[in-house]
A = this chain, B = another copy of it.
Amino acid sequence: MVEKRPARRPGGRSARVRAAVHRAVTELVAERGYGNVTVGEVAARAGVADTSVYRRWGSLEALLTEVVMSWLTDQSPIPDTGSLRGDLRAFAAQVARDVTGPDGLAVVRLVMALSAAGEEGARARDAFLAERARQLTGMLDRARERGEEPPGMLEVVDHILAPMYIRVLFGAGPLTPEYAEELADRLLPPPAGPAVS
């Protein structure tokens, strides 16, 4: 006799499966680097059937996209401290923490994996970059509304994010709090000179 399972599972189990699958993806990419992970391996690590992963996410790329997008919003939110200096410093410190931890590095590798994974991967990569760009633009717009002079969004990417990502990817040098702060301060407008008396 074949036992029929309910087609929809209660939210609690669904959320647990999602968390286990996200964790499995992050761990496997951290362990092996990108390009070496299959849906079967993710499912095995998460303790669910391959078919469950395919049914829910459709493809490995769709799953990877969900993982990086939820990481962006849940694990690595954009700061809002009330000043440009505070926001840039908090953002730099957070990037340093993110890419030093195993999850953050796994996410960086995931985004690179997506970039090299055909058309669907490129769409997922674009969604990730667009969301991060939207978050950063919001932070810089808040500074502008306060009358500050923020740098452009791409300057933040090029001169805070890129140096730290490259140092970690190349295994070159520690990301100290002082280093993160220095990267942030480079993007602040130079202090005004003393008023002429």
Contact = CB atoms under 8 A, between A and B. Distances in A.
A68 to B, nearest CB: 12
Nearest to A166: B162
Contacts of A125: 170-171
A111 interface: yes
Please state the number of chain copies in the assembly: 2
Interface in A93-118: 111-113, 115-116
A129 B159 contact: no
Given A125-B171, A129-B170, A157-B172, 9 more contacts: A33-B35, A33-B113, A33-B116, A112-B169, A129-B172, A158-B159, A158-B183, A159-B163, A162-B166
Interface residues of A, number: 29
A116 B34 CA distance: 11
A137 B65 CA distance: 41
A121 to B, nearest CB: 9
A36 interface: yes
Interface of A: 32-36, 111-113, 115-116, 122, 125, 129, 154, 157-159, 161-163, 165-167, 169-173, 183
A140 to B, nearest CB: 17
Nearest to A35: B33
